[in-house]
Amino acid sequence: MQITFLGTSSGVPTRSRNVSSVALRLPQRAEMWLFDCGEGTQHQILRSDLKISQLSRIFITHLHGDHIFGLMGLLATCGLAGNTKKIDVYGPPKLDEYLRACSRYSSTHLAYSIQVHTVQPGVVYEDDEFTVTCERLEHRVTTFGYRIAEKDRPGRFDVEKAKALAIPPGRIYGQLKRGETVTLLDGRTVNGTELCGSPEIGRKIAYCTDTIYCDNAVVLAQDADVLIHEATFSHQDAELAFQRLHSTSTMAAQTALAAQAKLLIMTHFSPRYAPGNAIGLKDLLQEARAIFPSTETAYDFMTYEVPRRREAELAEASR
């Protein structure tokens, strides 16, 4: 699970930051999922190591322009490339209406299937490996945050122990590795969980933007390996945050702390904190770390590979 930030500015792009979009790359499936798609997102993808041809799902939080103005252009490019079979798009009510209007007025006809899913709180997508859920956030328009949860995997299968029990190799090993109970030809019953190590806990990512501090963001981020949360304003500009229903750096940190997340990555920064201004992003980072030390600030093209729990624990133990 590899996260790439394609746009980390709020409202408008700057010279160094594009507007909102985050890619989640799943190399084992040769897939890319996109969260929000601000103007210029496809240009950002072209400047990265990501492949548009691997795009399979797009999750939209809300219909403000800095989160959707790049969507129709990206979908059109996928059609012209000719190697896209289907893209599923998830988002709030009227997203389907918006895309149909864009297609109609620009005379854009896509040569592949697009299915738009209007989301409601709860599960919005599930397969054998992942579950994606959403919850309502607190913003000026209908907005959803998303949680991507990798399903737990059976522990490592002990082949030597299986051999010592004279269990013949083959399809039976696969069944035992999945934790199933198998009856052997000689009548013995073997419980696969006894031949496997502890289950491997699945990784979890939460994506919360745009929102002021709210309980649902904490729900989405519960025990997350990574919480991606907007921090549009400094704590010193909290009044602006309340007026516009955005988060400060300290609100993002409080969300991570309440949810017991492993790592907070802040994004969606107001251009008012660009280099040279009285308050900079280093100040926002300092504010957040005073509450939640495991905090980082995102920048365009920043990539973070989410470690498996076992790998993270071993790395922590070696320090």
Question: Are the C-beta atoms of residues 137 and 217 closer than 8 Å to each other?
Answer: yes
Q: Vertex 114, ends 85 and 73: CA angle to 5°?
A: 95
Q: By C-alpha distance, which of 217, 249, 71 is closest to 147?
A: 217
3-state secondary structure of 237: helix
* CA–CA gap between residue 202 and residue 186 (Å, rounded): 36
109 is in an annotated binding site: no
DSSP code of residue 70: T
**For residue 71, how far is the Cα from the chain centroid?**
17
Helices and strands (H and E) in the chain: how many: 11, 16
268 is in an annotated binding site: yes
**Of 66, 225, 237, 300, which one is the catalytic site residue?**
66
Residue 58 has phi, psi (to 5 degrees) of -130, 130
CB atoms within 10 A of CB 125: 18
| Chain position carrying tokens 């609100």 | 251
246 is in an annotated binding site: no
Question: Are the C-beta atoms of residues 41 and 32 closer than 8 Å to each other?
Answer: no
139 is in an annotated binding site: yes
* CA–CA gap between residue 181 and residue 183 (Å, rounded): 7
Q: By C-alpha distance, which of 266, 252, 265 is closest to 225?
A: 265
Question: Are the C-beta atoms of residues 255 and 218 closer than 8 Å to each other?
Answer: yes
64 is in an annotated binding site: yes
Active site annotation includes 283: no
Q: Which amino acid is at 77?
A: T
Task: Give the residue ranges of the annotated binding site for Zn(2+).
Answer: 62, 64, 66-67, 139, 210, 268
Active site residues: 66
Which residues are known binding-site members? 62, 64, 66-67, 139, 210, 268
